[in-house]
């Protein structure tokens, strides 16, 4: 049986290698304690590093969804405000129409005054319908035109299109309003209706039948406002879910990447003791050199 010869150089190399490993472990623990980070490079823990990358990717997606949700709330909040103001304007127009329907109590001058106010209400309603959010019309968001309705009350939007925001991996919400559904278009629009009421008042034509037409548009606007409100609530629920998901992802990321400072302190103390012991043992194990022996 052959015996392998253990030389001094082999013992020295082994001791140096063991000390280097111990020193590297000590340095790694010191870095974790000072930085609070457990994963400084993928090789520290490849499996945990891969999981951390996936968690970070999900967290970045959540950030995008959250920004989209905030944008959606801005759009839908504007739509709701516009429809609310439009309802107030149209109710005032209804009151004026009812006044004008009382033919016996209206003089030419009073009918003209009613017609002038109806005209101003039409202009205000048209302005509301052309409201913009971030430079785009809230009732024709996919149109390149700067306004939803032009002077002829033609809608500039493309039929069947809408503006959507993704607020989750499998959740989208429409954020613009349906201008045609709320206000009509062209000769059948609420603006054209107010024009006809104004003209009828000036010509002393009975306007009592127009009240029912106004009620129809009030109902349409109310329906569209309810739709916008339900979408707003959907986005708020989505934001709550995103917040919960973000908190859970942050907890997972922290568990994977962040150092447990209490454990690091314990491990660091143990590693310091182990390193000092290794130094002491190595000093005794390595044979003295010839010069040290002669001295």
How far apart CA 130 and CA 218 sit, in angstroms, is 18
Q: Which residues pair with 133 in a beta bridge?
A: 136
pLDDT along the chain (295 residues), means of 10: 57 61 58 59 72 85 94 96 98 95 79 96 97 92 84 89 90 94 96 97 92 97 97 95 88 66 60 63 58 51
- Which pLDDT does position 224 carry in this prediction? 97
- Which pLDDT does position 41 carry in this prediction? 65
- Which pLDDT does position 181 carry in this prediction? 95
How far apart CA 83 and CA 220 sit, in angstroms, is 10
Architecture of the structural domain at 54-253: Up-down Bundle (1.20)
Q: How far is CA 117 from the centre of its chain?
A: 42
- Which pLDDT does position 249 carry in this prediction? 84
161 within 8 A of 129, measured Cβ to Cβ: no
- Which pLDDT does position 56 carry in this prediction? 82
How far apart CA 294 and CA 99 sit, in angstroms, is 126
- Which pLDDT does position 106 carry in this prediction? 75
- Which pLDDT does position 266 carry in this prediction? 67
- The pTM for the full model equals 0.75
- Which pLDDT does position 107 carry in this prediction? 85
Taking CA atoms, 67 is separated from 56, 58, 167, 284, in Å, by: 17, 14, 8, 65
- Which pLDDT does position 157 carry in this prediction? 84
- Which pLDDT does position 246 carry in this prediction? 87
71 within 8 A of 175, measured Cβ to Cβ: yes
């Amino acid at each position: 049986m052959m015996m392998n010869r253990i030389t001094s150089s082999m013992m020295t190399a082994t001791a140096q290698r063991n000390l280097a490993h111990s020193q590297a472990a000590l340095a790694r623990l010191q870095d974790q304690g000072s930085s609070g980070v457990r994963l400084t490079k993928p090789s520290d823990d490849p499996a945990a590093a891969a999981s951390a990358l996936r968690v970070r990717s999900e967290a970045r997606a959540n950030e995008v969804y959250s920004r989209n949700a905030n944008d959606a709330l801005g759009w839908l909040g504007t739509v709701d405000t516009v429809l609310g103001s439009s309802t107030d304007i149209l109710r005032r127009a209804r009151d004026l129409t009812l006044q004008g329907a009382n033919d016996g109590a209206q003089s030419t001058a009073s009918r003209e005054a009613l017609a002038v106010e109806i005209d101003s209400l039409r202009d205000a309603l048209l302005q509301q319908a052309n409201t913009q959010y971030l430079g785009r019309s809230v009732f024709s968001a996919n149109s390149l035109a700067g306004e939803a309705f032009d002077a002829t009350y033609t809608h500039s939007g493309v039929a069947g299109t809408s503006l959507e925001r993704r607020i989750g991996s499998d959740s989208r919400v429409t954020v613009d309003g349906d201008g045609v559904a709320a206000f009509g278009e062209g000769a059948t629009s609420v603006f054209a209706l107010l024009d006809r009421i104004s003209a009828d008042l000036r010509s002393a034509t009975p306007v009592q039948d127009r009240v029912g037409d106004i009620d129809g548009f009030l109902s349409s606007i109310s329906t569209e406002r309810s739709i916008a409100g339900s979408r707003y609530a959907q986005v708020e629920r989505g934001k709550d879910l995103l917040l919960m998901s973000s908190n859970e992802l942050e907890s997972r990321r922290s568990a994977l990447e962040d150092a447990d400072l209490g454990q690091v302190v314990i491990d660091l103390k143990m590693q310091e003791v182990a390193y000092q012991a290794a130094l002491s043992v190595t000093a005794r194990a390595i044979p003295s050199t010839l010069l040290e022996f002669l001295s």
